[in-house]
Structure 1
């Protein structure tokens, strides 16, 4: 781990804010930024994923974490964000470096052009020795448009900058094979397949929006981007270095060898479903054996409303997710083409286009180690209608 050149460190609200007073835990912040300063001296580039703005702003709007609604949280984030960044800036200056803030929405991470723009911003900050602090923009996001947890968002950032390690600091020392309070719970030091432990990984705290479940989802995303994930307790003294140097126990989710191209990694690792296709079973079976374009005649059902350029989840008739890819048509256009296979695209859409809904260059076949999303049921529209 000492050879790492890029690291993403994610910390949650429960580590930054006292649960009762909802004020900053300065001792933890000092330990955290002291470690980051030492890493920077060794030539390591660090991105910090930090929650905390909402928790720090709740007192100002006279709300508790338990009774705050989405509008309360938006207002709390607006109030708490400058408090949080001012504290980071002051402590970072004590250790001789500077910080910058990048606030993102789910659209920024899911739309390719905006994703690249954020990557370029991070790279320019690195060039100038400035540490980026990234968080979801809670002042403008709604429940429907949120990533919902900084664990998976941190994994997307790790993918973006091709990080060596994603470090998730939390309130416990790592992953157990069952809830850690249960008798006989066994600590997991290293794992390859996170799906084995998803059932045991549940529960959140009042301040945080994610539990161990989202950390395993994040670990799976990072694995396929060639990044190892470390889950460890966010202690005050040397919270990062003590883990990287192997001085205290933690859980490591190992990387899955050499990642595919950055384009295919981006196609595969999603934070939100834009839409879905269900294919004929024989077409789906053939697709898993040999990559081929998906045509409108291959489709049985379409789920959700999507636009050209969105990433779709592709299922077989058994409900097994087999692929993800970028669509050349909107959901309305796909349904129109699929319901009139005898007509040309020019006749139906008013313009000429290759009838491939997803081309091979814009598609990734999922491996067994990828976590699948459940097939939508309520929004399915059958081609046969």
Structure 2
């Protein structure tokens, strides 16, 4: 079975850093590499930044807009231009492409999540390379991915990819920003247990046209590896590195994946949803969830934070606020405040009606980190 690849390229690689104009030689090399990989049988998805940057150049703007409405308008101008360039280059190599624009809402709603998965699968079976970007024109702030590193990690999780390549303006991860600290140590491999503890001075984005930086790439690596996707940070100006890495060369920084869950619903909970609140748990509840694979009962809850409704996602945290799991609540925040600390048989008396015995059932719960 051929391995599925998600490749993300950032604005700093797609455009010239001083002018914001497209770096056509880099884009051409990327198109050639991805077309070759597709011909070799690899299903490929490209997550491409650059719409806002290209729109800025087209409209002769001197800096990236900060106002949401203006940024959305500029993205609408740039997205068409960017896809035109991709389509011309891919067509010259007889490689069909498709445009896929996503918002966070598309992954939060279960039916939309499933539809997105099915659409990607059909496109890949047809031999098409989907080109993905956030639908900046309609996305609202609270439902934005925020950056395309995060978007690419969510897409990799959604389609159950084997690899996520984050193409950036440095050749790998370093202990500090190599542009500012010449003796920064290169990091070649990051094991799953090391990622949460990784200490690096993650710089801001390398270009005024971009929104990412090493912070967002580490966050994306955490999302992707927790979904079982091997993640690589490597130099975006040399897209041929992707094929070399697949052939075993030690380029860039590789983040080893965690074991993948086979349950699609749990992947959706872990990587599609946005938490609307937090539940703080006592030590017994943390142990029951982490070690015993149990559901969360009201008796183990010591504090409720945020406002949410039944069936919305909540973070389950220990006393110190460290997130241990994410799950779907059976009760609203107001209801949980009434029943927290009490045994399940007391729920009908406390609420005035019979409800679920569990606050979060184990089938709707995904463990993120076990402190025990």
Correspondence for 1:64: 62
CA contact (8 A) 1:225 1:260 kept: no
CA-CA distance at 1:281 after TM superposition: 3.4
Task: Please state whether the residue corresponding to 1:197 is helix, strand or coil.
Answer: coil
Worse-matched range after superposition: 145-154 or 37-46: 145-154
Structure 2: distance between partners of 1:60 and 1:260: 45
CA contact (8 A) 1:177 1:197 kept: no
Structure 1: distance between partners of 2:52 and 2:64: 12
Worse-matched range after superposition: 118-127 or 65-74: 65-74
CA contact (8 A) 1:224 1:259 kept: no
1:115 and 1:83, CA in 2 relative to 1: closer, same or farther beyond 3 A? same
CA contact (8 A) 1:147 1:271 kept: no
Correspondence for 1:290: 292
Correspondence for 1:382: none
* Match runs of 1:114-125 below 5 Å: 114-125=112-123
1:129 and 1:66, CA in 2 relative to 1: closer, same or farther beyond 3 A? closer
Correspondence for 2:18: 20
Gapped regions of structure 1 (runs ≥ 5)? 370-385
- For residues 249-270 of structure 1, the C-alpha deviation after alignment (integer angstroms, 9 at most, x for no partner) is 3111112245453333332336
CA-CA distance at 1:323 after TM superposition: 1.6
Task: Please state whether the residue corresponding to 1:85 is helix, strand or coil.
Answer: helix
- For residues 188-210 of structure 1, the C-alpha deviation after alignment (integer angstroms, 9 at most, x for no partner) is 11111223434422322322212
- For residues 263-295 of structure 1, the C-alpha deviation after alignment (integer angstroms, 9 at most, x for no partner) is 333323367432211123333333333122223
CA contact (8 A) 2:175 2:199 kept: no
Alignment equivalent of 2:108, drawn from 103, 107, 110 = 110
Correspondence for 2:205: 204
Alignment equivalent of 1:152, drawn from 146, 150, 153 = 150
**What TM-score results when the alignment is normalised by the length of structure 2?**
0.89
Gapped regions of structure 2 (runs ≥ 5)? none
Correspondence for 1:280: 282
Correspondence for 1:374: none
CA contact (8 A) 1:63 1:72 kept: no
1:261 and 1:339, CA in 2 relative to 1: closer, same or farther beyond 3 A? closer
Structure 1: distance between partners of 2:104 and 2:241: 29
- For residues 44-64 of structure 1, the C-alpha deviation after alignment (integer angstroms, 9 at most, x for no partner) is 100000111111112455533
Correspondence for 2:187: 188
CA contact (8 A) 2:20 2:57 kept: yes
Structure 2: distance between partners of 1:164 and 1:287: 28
**Cα RMSD (Å):** 2.5
CA-CA distance at 1:363 after TM superposition: 1.1
- For residues 13-43 of structure 1, the C-alpha deviation after alignment (integer angstroms, 9 at most, x for no partner) is 1111223332222211111111111111111
Correspondence for 1:82: 80
Structure 2: distance between partners of 1:94 and 1:271: 39
**What TM-score results when the alignment is normalised by the length of structure 1?**
0.86
CA contact (8 A) 1:35 1:239 kept: no
1:259 and 1:348, CA in 2 relative to 1: closer, same or farther beyond 3 A? closer
Worse-matched range after superposition: 314-323 or 84-93: 314-323
Correspondence for 1:381: none
Alignment equivalent of 1:360, drawn from 354, 359, 362 = 362
Question: How many pairs are equivalent?
Answer: 366
Structure 1: distance between partners of 2:151 and 2:258: 19
* Match runs of 1:172-187 below 5 Å: 172-180=170-178, 181-187=180-186
Correspondence for 1:335: 337
CA contact (8 A) 2:113 2:268 kept: no
